[in-house]
Amino acid sequence: KPTPPIFWANILTLYSAVSLVTQILFAPTVLTRTVRRLSLSTRFTLAITSMMIEIVAVLFMPVVKVTQTVAIVVFFIVIILSGIGKSHMELSIYTLVSSIPSKFMSAAMFGCLFSGMIPSVLQCVIMGSMETTYESVRKQSHMCFSLELVTMPLALIMAHSLRYISYAQENVAEYRMMKQANSDEGGCHNDTDGENEPVAKMEEGSVDEEAGMTTAEQLTATPVLPVLKKIHLMMTTCFISFFVTLFIFPSLVFPIDRDHNWFGTLAILCYNFGDAAGRFGTTFKCIWPSRRVLLILTLSRFLFIVPIFLCVFKYIPGHAVPYILMFLVGLTNYTGALSMVYGPITPGLVTAGQKLMAGQLMGISLLAGASFASLIAIGVVYALP
């Protein structure tokens, strides 16, 4: 028998709550001088390793047949550990792309969504080809976990391989300084540098005054408050956009039809395709609105909440409208993705360190909006039919 039954009956809700609380509590730690001194490579290694530990623990606990008490304790430990890793992983990605052309932030935003699209499509394929028995569901979970265990080490290898890519060496301080150090050890010098330190190419064509520093040194030397004052409008926009998105999705999706085996899966697929289109749209500068217009568009997304609740309470019957709404919610998440792009290129941010700091602050704003919305949505879901 499950002991205590209330824990195992609500394990997914508890997982989400603990993970989200951990992420929002530990996300601001990236602003401490201790974390800012860490290289990007070290951050990626620690973050991905912590997430891998969670997957391994979940897979092996049933195999070694631990007691329920031990399982609960391990459950909370690995959730907290992976929550810290998830927040630092995401913020490290935004830091990496903040001081280079804005198209890379667009790519990062699309990549975060693409990682959700793959499992969504796979789930549709698996559900269509397998039965819904206990053994079948267990096989599906093993397939998903195995995919994650393959993907995470691959992501870590790719993160460490950035130091060998010439474009990254030219535009990211950490990799540029690694290249210079290796050249100095080998007695070689970059002919284009002469007697000066390497100069990073800024998006606006300005000279990077911090070119002789590593990424960690740039972050350590940059005060937080001046950057915060310059990007507060985009931080607000980002917070609101992801608050609306995560309040609706996925917490308010399943209550629309809890009994239909395919509804939740297809609704999530519609959202993911809409979100993919919206995030990809940030790569086209011709459709970028002004920052104030972007904030207005973001606030208008609250209007989606009304028809979603009408669907939940069956005032709008059927599945067609919810599918369309989920696609539109995903598509209009363009506003959140674009605010992330706008943050590091805000006028007044001159040095690479300021752009890097802006990326971290925007990431914290994103996590805060998503986490608070999800926690509120969890409470709302319990009150729904």
- What single string gives the DSSP state of each residue in 150-190? HHHHHHHHHHHHGGG-HHHHHH-HHHHHHHHHHHHHTT---
pLDDT, one tens digit per residue, over 321-338 is 999 999 999 999 999 999
Tell me the average pLDDT across 13-17: 79
Model confidence at 30, pLDDT cuts 50, 70, 90, reads: very high
pTM: predicted TM-score of the whole model, two decimal places:
0.85
Q: What is the pLDDT of residue 264?
A: 86
- As a whole number of angstroms, the distance between CA 350 and CA 174 comes to 18
Q: What is the pLDDT of residue 214?
A: 86
Q: What is the pLDDT of residue 191?
A: 46
Percentage of the chain lying above the pLDDT 90 cut: 54
Q: Is the pLDDT of residue 131 over 90?
A: no
Q: What is the pLDDT of residue 201?
A: 45
3-state secondary structure of 204: coil
Q: What is the pLDDT of residue 76?
A: 92
Would you kindly state where each structural domain of the chain is located, as residue ranges? 165-220, 222-380
pLDDT, one tens digit per residue, over 80-105 is 999 999 999 999 999 999 988 999 99
Least confident of 8-12, 58-62, 213-217: 8-12
Positive or negative, the CA dihedral 22, 27, 28, 29 is positive
pLDDT, one tens digit per residue, over 164-199 is 999 998 888 889 888 888 876 665 554 444 333 343
